Amino acid sequence: MYDVIVIGSGPGGYVAAIRAAQLGMKTAIIEKYPTLGGTCLNVGCIPSKALLDSSEHYHNAAHTFKTHGITIKDLKVDLPQMIARKDDVVKQNVDGIQFLMKKNKIEVHQGVGSFVDANTVKVTKEDGTSTDIQGKNIIIATGSKPSSLPFIKLDKKRVITSTEALKMKEIPKHLIVIGGGVIGMELGSVYGRMGAKVSVVEFMDSLIPSMDKTMGKELQKSLKKLGFEFYLKHKVTAVENQGKEVVVKAENGKGETIEIKGDYVLVSIGRKPYTDGLNAEAAGVKITDRGQVEVNDHLQTSVPHIYAIGDVVKGAMLAHKAEEEGVYVAETIAGQKPHINYLLIPGVVYTWPEVAAVGYTEEQLKEQGRKYKAGKFPFMASGRARASMDTDGLVKVLADAETDEILGVHMIGPRTADMIAEAVVAMEFRASAEDIARMSHAHPTYTEAFKEACLAATDNRALHI
Ligand SMILES: Cc1cc2nc3c(=O)[nH]c(=O)nc-3n(C[C@H](O)[C@H](O)[C@H](O)COP(=O)(O)OP(=O)(O)OC[C@H]3O[C@@H](n4cnc5c(N)ncnc54)[C@H](O)[C@@H]3O)c2cc1C
């Protein structure tokens, strides 16, 4: 009898297992794939960032090195090597999780986990053999899979998901991306930087539509410079694989149908929770109409000693959100009283410029009728950004009109994925814009843009613009 059984080894599951083991609980983890780490490490965060870094190096070598005074002859992309390096990065990371399981004495069971009853999980290996294991507490961390539209046939050759986009055999000539969200913009950037024409078809009126509107607008400007073309407010109605060519049909706001022809279509319209094979009903665990495992505010399912975390439950589908929930549940089982501040889980898009945000968007504050002030600082006015030739983008700080408390920070620019951490700390400690404006930020750094935006929010006092 284990104290805790975790089903799924993504960032939610493996972190939950480590924290449970740290707290002295006898822990097992079940993973159906041969490697640990889930979507994030195998076909998500890590491989996409590896390819984003490689393609950005190529793009800079092709387009900005000359201005820096560096000339390269015979520059070309070796795609198989780029993919091989990505695979090596993935291997280092998934092997690292295997090591962490061993170090923390967590028993790894390879196979599909399915409930037999509320305390028993059957682990079925690929060869069909199975073992039953029992746990006092069980954590469901089975993650998500790419979603599609009912009329789209994902043949995984020309009509692909993010998983196939991470192991392409050739650079597309014309990649059509359905969905202007994070994954589509990141993977579109990878191939756009290496010369692919990229067309984006998005139903909403802006890119990355769940983020502050300014971010979508600015990102669109930057990606246009990279050669992207956009079909916003277009509803995809058909996708046809015609052999060497793929045709996407979409309806614009006036009801007219347009046709876009390319050689690959990336369907990136979001992800759906994954519970196939889990046999949740055998344990009495309820699944919502949207396919998520139903949980209360303590991440307990309809069966109190069975918890669920990460992409398979409500909330943002992000690795660090899943990790926080993993720690939360392990500590709850151990009798502690942990807490997660969901408002302060940052969101990042690893395009270039990067987009990063935390807290409320300007649209949300307007909707709430909250009085706020906004301070902005463009990277064009940053000495550091000029030195590195990364002047696209800005930092926007939203603060309460009366108390000056920071309510939201939205950044688009160089290294904002790392910079957003300062905003998270500030907001977690409920800093005012003036608090940040009065703190020394090393010069020259990109972080000065955050300080300047805070100065701008505090009686329009920005110094360098
Ligand atoms: C291309 C791409 C890029 C991304 N980039 C980022 C990023 O930069 N930052 C970020 O925060 N998020 C990113 N994400 C999202 C991130 O990957 C997910 O939010 C995260 O992996 C969710 O973690 P999880 O533990 O809930 O589930 P998952 O990582 O999906 O892991 C679930 C695991 O459970 C296993 N499993 C499922 N059912 C069973 C079963 N019955 N028995 C045994 N095992 C089972 C699965 O095989 C899988 O390994 C990206 C996603 C994609 C696709």
What is 4-54 written as a DSSP string?
A: EEEE--SHHHHHHHHHHHHTT--EEEEESSSSSSHHHHHHSHHHHHHHHHH
Sequential DSSP letters for 138-188: EEE---EEE---TT----SSSEE-HHHHTT-SS--SEEEEE--SHHHHHHH
Q: How far is the C-alpha of 106 from the C-alpha of 423, rounded, in Å?
A: 35
pLDDT at 39: 98
- Distance from Cα 244 to the centre of ligand 1, integer Å: 32
Centre of ligand 1 to C-alpha 209, Å, is 22
Give me the active site residues, please: 443
Q: Residue 268: what pLDDT?
A: 98
Nearest CA to ligand 1 atom 20: 319
Q: What pLDDT shows up at residue 130?
A: 98
Testing ligand 1's pocket by substitution, the residue of 32, 39, 130 carrying the most ligand atoms inside 8 A of its CB is 39
C-alpha 421/C-alpha 433 separation (Å) is 15
Residues of the chain with pLDDT under 50: none
pLDDT for the residue numbered 448: 98
- Atom index in ligand 1 nearest the CA of residue 317 equals 19
Give the position, in ligand 1's atom list, of the atom nearest the Cα of 13: 25
Q: Which two tokens stand for residue 273?
A: 């929770």
Name residues contacting ligand 1 (CB within 6 A): 7-13, 30-33, 38-40, 44-45, 48, 112-113, 141-144, 162, 183, 274, 277-278, 310-311, 317-320, 322, 350
- Which residue has its alpha carbon closest to ligand 1 atom 7? 45
Ligand 1 atom at minimum distance from 312 CA: 26
* Nearest protein Cα to ligand 1, atom 49: 38
Peptide bond between residue 444 and the one before it cis (omega within 30 degrees of 0): yes
Give me the pLDDT at residue 417, please: 98
Q: Return the best residue to mutate from 36, 41, 45, 312 for the ligand 1 pocket (most ligand atoms within 8 A of CB).
A: 45
The pLDDT assigned to 382 comes to: 98
- Ligand 1 centroid to 275 CA: how many Å? 12
Q: What is the CA(61)–ligand 1 centre distance, in A?
A: 33
- For the chain, which domains are there? 2-146+272-342 (3.50.50.60), 159-269 (3.50.50.60), 353-457 (3.30.390.30)
Predicted structure pTM score: 0.98
Q: Looking at this protein, which amino acid is placed at residue 193? A: R
